[in-house]
Amino acid sequence: MNELLDRILTAHGGLARWRNFTEVRATIVTDGAFWGIKGLVQDQAPRRMTVGLRQQRASVTPFGAPDQKTAFSADRIAIEKLDGTIVAERSNPRAMFDGHEMTTPWSPLHRAYFNGYALWTYLTSPFLLALPGVGVEEVEPWNEGGQVWRRLRATFPAGIATHSDKQDFFFDSELNLRRHDYNVDVAGGFDAAQYVDDTVDADGIRVQTRRRAYRRGPDGRALTDVVMVAIDLSDISFT
């Protein structure tokens, strides 16, 4: 394992402890300009997110109606009633985004898939960097507001659904995750920089609870005039 990654995982609770758990749950509140760009309405009502740690799966409740939830995996997305009745579903969901640009409108299934893979990525970071098939290398450090952040570049295999195959993860002197860069392939591939803060301890695992994503300029700096996506996490528990 990459030496820096090993230290980062230890600082976040350690792989041994992480592997004792199978699931993480959190309350999420979401906002930002991105949803309106996609023709969607996003309220700030709290929702409950469940993410699997052994397989790539996720679900958010409620979704679209009080008695509905999502069921996400890398090769399928569904909207279901709480009793399991299928409202809508799609196999090979990534194909739904073929030809999409940033302003292409999304259906509820598009939104459900994006929510599933994005929150799975966030709630398993940085431990997802130790998954089989994920390539990790340290690249040049980054200066952010006078601080020097070390940076890991990850290359994800095709079997993992996430924003893009290459992503950068930035860590401060305490080895806290502070920033996450990626391309949003499902929305035309635009460059994004997500700032991460407010670290808490949840069952011995260090978790960042505040995320703010912006467009990223050609110089790598975040264009902070518009918050594209805002996510606040609370009530986090591992089982």
Q: What does the alpha-carbon distance between residue 229 and residue 212 come to, in Å, rounded to a whole number?
A: 6
> Is the pLDDT score of 1 beyond 90?
no
- Calculate mean pLDDT across residues 180-197: 98
Could you tell me the end-to-end alpha-carbon distance of the chain, in angstroms, rounded to an integer? Answer: 26
pLDDT of residue 89: 97
Give the pLDDT confidence of 77-131 residue by residue, as tens digits.
Answer: 999 999 999 999 999 999 999 999 999 999 999 999 999 999 999 999 999 999 9
Closest to 208 measured CA to CA, from 228, 182, 234: 234
Q: Which residues 6+ apart lie within 8 Å of 16 measured at CB?
A: none
> Is the pLDDT score of 54 beyond 80?
yes
Share of the chain above pLDDT 70, in %: 100
Give the pLDDT confidence of 127-177 residue by residue, as tens digits.
Answer: 999 999 999 999 999 999 999 999 999 999 999 999 999 999 999 999 999
Share of the chain above pLDDT 90, in %: 99
